[in-house]
């Protein structure tokens, strides 16, 4: 079997019964435990917490290299501050957690726990920004946000406590703000590329943009069950929040004006879900090397009478690689090699090294790469170069495989019937749309998926009428079920 066919054969459960497959991996591979007694709140286990922390460091390094200052803002805001931007509060009015303060008359008020932090950060921007010399101002924080999710919760995808990074920026002109949109997109794209995750970069329709934004850009990752997983968003806020919070500055000509703002968020739990869902197979996790808790496992194959020689050789290999990669020497005596193989495949460890009497005699090792399960013989003196190559090649393969699957899942539809069938078959549907809200509602009601938006990264011109009304189409949009 080719590696592509092997991958397809090993993902039957993932594509046919995704929910069961995903839930089993979350617990068995020590990602999260969803049994916490408060719905929508998760316990991140050792592997899930480790992977998310590695993702956080990858992202924060890129943000800080581009001038974003790390800050940490409070958890709460007042209901008065929260209500200042009308569109924003309308967008989150049904989702906020509240703290009711009891006590003397003056303190009997309500605090809002952040669903996102605009209303917490922007009163501070008003204090900090005085003139054009203070701009651009770019800050970020990695925190949990809280939303009282009214839909069915789903581990990692739809939760009430959301670990993420949010960045907020202020600029002197709309041109500077647009330049920052491109920078934010590039930062997020780089991180996702380094994780092998493929996605559609979509400009959301106006009816589905972030509350208070001029426009919103979203990163929609494909999922095996046909739904899309929004892993990150970038929002151009224009001057809407600046006007609401009176964030002004002195221009170079001495006049005063409102700043132009952006906010953008990167969902750590959703990115973790994308890694599991796009790369995993029926054996368990398949992890990109950069975030794997264990990058290499060494398994001694012991035969009676040759245990010492094999263990000595395995320890030599361990010493040679442990300072370069996160390595475990699995020398458990009460576990068979087959059980060890099963365990480390479940955990997604990128490279397995096997050493037995044959390898000791020949001065070689047997390498198995987790993504393709290909076994490779390598001499001990070339081991470092071979592992270095394999780590890079595993990421390349994961990324290319994910991109091929994304393209495979996108289906063109010229009628409501074709679109409905495509969505039912767990695809992302590409259709022509006139731009009207009425037709968007028709598509949602009849097709069973929602308009996710039009491509932001490439121009796609409609070559057919609107799928809903038959009139001239304004744009090509993507329709899918979503988390």
CATH number at residue 438: 3.30.110.30
CATH of the domain at 318: 3.40.50.800
Which residue, 213, 245, 279, sits at the end of a domain? Answer: 279
pLDDT digits (tens, 9 = 90+) for 88-119: 777 777 789 999 877 656 566 789 999 999 99
Which of 165, 141, 178, 183 minimizes the C-alpha distance to 261?
178
- Domain assignment present for 430: yes
Q: What is the mean pLDDT of the chain?
A: 94
* pLDDT value at residue 105: 60
Domain boundary among 227, 244, 279: 279
Domain count, the chain: 3
β-pair partners for 77: 112
Q: What's the CATH code of the domain at 10?
A: 3.30.930.10
116 and 16 share a domain?
yes
Per-residue pLDDT tens for 186-223? 999 999 999 999 999 999 999 999 999 999 999 999 99
Domain that includes residue 247, residue range: 3-279
Are 95 and 233 within one domain?
Answer: yes
**What's residue 12's pLDDT?**
77
Q: What is the pLDDT of residues 293-329, one digit of tens each?
A: 999 999 999 988 888 999 999 999 999 999 999 999 9
Tell me whether residue 125 is in a domain: yes
52 in any annotated domain: yes
Compute the average pLDDT of residues 405-420. 98
Q: Are residues 162 and 67 in the same domain?
A: yes
Clarify whether residues 236 and 320 are in a common domain.
Answer: no
Domain membership flag for residue 285: no
Residue 402 lies in a domain: no
| Same-domain check for residues 89 and 229 | yes
Task: Say yes or no: 235 and 140 in one domain.
Answer: yes
Residues 116 and 160 grouped into a single domain: yes
In a domain, 400, yes or no: no
Choose the final residue of a domain: 323, 357, 392. 392
99 and 201 housed in the same domain: yes
Q: Are residues 217 and 251 in the same domain?
A: yes
151 pLDDT tier (thresholds 50, 70, 90): low
| Percentage, residues of the chain above pLDDT 90 | 89
Q: Residue 161 pLDDT > 70, yes or no?
A: yes
| Per-residue model confidence (pLDDT) at position 1 | 42
Residue 287 lies in a domain: no
> Would the pLDDT of 2 be above 50?
no
Whether 217 is in a domain gets the answer yes
Give yes or no for residue 405 having a pLDDT over 90: yes
Residue 330 has pLDDT above 70, yes or no: yes
Place of tokens 């069961």: 20
**Same domain, yes or no: 299 and 357:** yes
Same domain for 201 and 74: yes
Token representation of residue 393 = 């090649």
Predicted TM-score (pTM) of this structure: 0.95
Least confident of 92-96, 352-356, 395-399, 478-482: 92-96
368 and 414: one domain? no
């Amino acid at each position: 079997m080719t590696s592509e066919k092997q991958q397809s054969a090993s993902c039957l459960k993932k594509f046919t019964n995704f929910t069961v497959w995903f839930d089993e991996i979350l617990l068995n591979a020590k990602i999260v435990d969803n049994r916490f007694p408060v719905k929508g709140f998760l316990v991140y286990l050792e592997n899930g917490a480790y992977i998310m922390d590695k993702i956080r460091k990858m992202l924060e390094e890129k943000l800080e290299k581009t001038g974003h200052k790390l800050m940490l803002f409070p958890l709460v805001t007042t209901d008065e501050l929260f209500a200042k931007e009308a569109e924003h509060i309308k967008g989150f009015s049904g989702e906020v957690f509240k703290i009711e303060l009891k006590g003397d008359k003056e303190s009997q008020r309500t605090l809002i726990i952040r669903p996102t932090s605009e209303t917490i950060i922007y009163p501070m921007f008003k204090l900090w920004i005085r003139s054009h010399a203070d701009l651009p101002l770019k800050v970020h924080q990695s925190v949990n946000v809280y939303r009282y999710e009214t839909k069915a919760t789903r581990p990692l995808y739809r939760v009430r406590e959301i670990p993420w990074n949010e960045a907020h920026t202020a600029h002197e002109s709309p041109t500077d703000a647009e330049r920052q949109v491109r920078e934010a997109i590039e930062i997020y794209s780089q991180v996702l590329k380094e994780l092998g995750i493929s996605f559609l970069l979509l400009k959301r329709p106006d009816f589905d943009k972030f509350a208070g934004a001029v426009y919103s850009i979203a990163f929609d990752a494909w999922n095996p069950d046909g739904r899309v997983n929004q892993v990150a968003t970038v929002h151009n806020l224009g001057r809407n929040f600046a006007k609401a919070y009176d964030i002004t500055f002195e221009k170079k000509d001495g006049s005063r004006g409102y700043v132009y703002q952006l906010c953008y968020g990167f969902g750590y739990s959703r990115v973790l879900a994308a890694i599991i869902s796009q790369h995993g197979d029926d054996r368990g996790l398949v992890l990109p090397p950069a975030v794997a808790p264990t990058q290499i496992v060494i398994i001694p194959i012991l035969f009676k009478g040759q245990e010492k020689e094999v263990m000595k050789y395995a320890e030599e290999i361990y010493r040679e690689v442990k300072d370069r990669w996160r390595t475990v020497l699995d020398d458990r005596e009460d576990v068979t090699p087959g059980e060890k193989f099963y365990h480390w495949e479940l955990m997604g460890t990128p490279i397995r090294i096997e050493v037995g009497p044959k390898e000791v005699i020949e001065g070689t090792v047997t390498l198995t790469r987790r993504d393709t399960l290909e076994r490779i013989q390598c001499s001990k003196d070339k081991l470092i170069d071979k592992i270095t190559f394999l780590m890079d090649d595993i990421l390349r393969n994961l990324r290319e495989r994910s991109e091929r699957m994304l393209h495979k899942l996108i289906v063109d539809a010229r009628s409501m019937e074709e679109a409905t069938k495509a969505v039912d078959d767990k695809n992302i549907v590409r259709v022509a749309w006139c731009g009207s809200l009425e037709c968007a509602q028709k598509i949602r009601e009849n097709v069973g998926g929602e308009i996710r938006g039009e491509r932001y990264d490439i121009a796609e011109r409609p070559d057919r009428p609107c799928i809903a009304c038959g009139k001239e189409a304004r744009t090509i949009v993507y329709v899918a079920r979503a988390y």
